[in-house]
Structure 1
Amino acid sequence: MPIYDYIYGTVDKNSNTLYENSVKRNEESPNVVHLTHLTTPESIYHLRLGFAYLASKPYSSVWYLWLLWPVTLWFMVLTKIYRRTFVVERNRFDQIRLQTWAIPTYRVQYCLKRQKESINNMIEEAVLEAEEKGASALSLGLMNQASFSASSHNQYGEVYVKKHPQLKVKLVDGSSLAVAVLLNSIPKGTTQ
């Protein structure tokens, strides 16, 4: 609740009831999940969880974020300890429920060989969680598809499909998504 509503006495009497009812409501399971990652320590402020002003603009480093370095360092320690995906945003378009999940790793960690197993385990847990929640598709963010060569990380999600052949959730990377869009844009009956 906005603090200014309390200060100026403009609080709606039904706000507390509405809040309590929304908290009691069961969490909606997503139809589609996009699995992304953090890029730099300051990128947390560009999420919806951070500052709306920064989230509405393309990512760029700004001088006043240096003032928040104590908070940034605290968040880095928290992500190092927590090591689980978290929901960044939830969207609903008609009957389709979309969620964006983030893996608490930074871009530089994908380049470190000692992080490979840890990152792959987090991605695998996210795939299995999406499966458990009934998602029909999970798209892998750029660094979650593979690192700098197909053999170095998870081979664009193929590792998880081979390891769990019973998966119902479809793993989608950017290249297969582009092919699907291209194929669906070709008019039916086209032969050449």
Structure 2
Amino acid sequence: MIDPIDPEQRERVLERTEYFIASAEEVLERPFDRIPVHFDLRGTTAGMFRADGRKREIRYNPWIFAKYWDLNFEGTVPHEVAHYIVHEVYGPRRVKPHGQEWRALMDYFGADPEVTFKLDVDDIPQRRQRTHPYRCDCREHQVSTTRHNRMLKGTGQYVCRYCSTRLVYAPDDTLPEFSLAGSP
């Protein structure tokens, strides 16, 4: 298993993030807020710009950065800063995420405007989706946490695609026994 980037590398990523925000301020002739930058992203994604209402942040995956330092230092940092700047200039829904405005900013930054990389992430910690046991009249189902929470809140109902009956939560100890026809 690979170790995440060290504090010195984190500082270099923060400085590079600041550099690209300042570069955007210069070319667009307007100031931009300094938003939080976190190193808490897991899974197969190297970076992410996220906006939720007025809360905006950039998240980086410290394990992918550690394994592919040069690629991410040169590519992921300007990629996520460009998303942030385009969001601030054009709003959340007026342009495509990797549209011409984003590509123009990436060109100005001198960065490759490729959207994704093909990387080997076998030794990177992955987030695993938890499932929850449900049942219908004919079988057991494993439901994602998102759907499970919707059903608990009453904002979602799901039915079996085979028998068309509603799925019911069945913690492990309450699952009924099913037998296959012709099995001993």
**TM-score w.r.t. length of structure 2:** 0.26
**TM-score w.r.t. length of structure 1:** 0.25
Greater Rg by CA: 2
Higher relative contact order (CA 8 A, sep 6+): 1
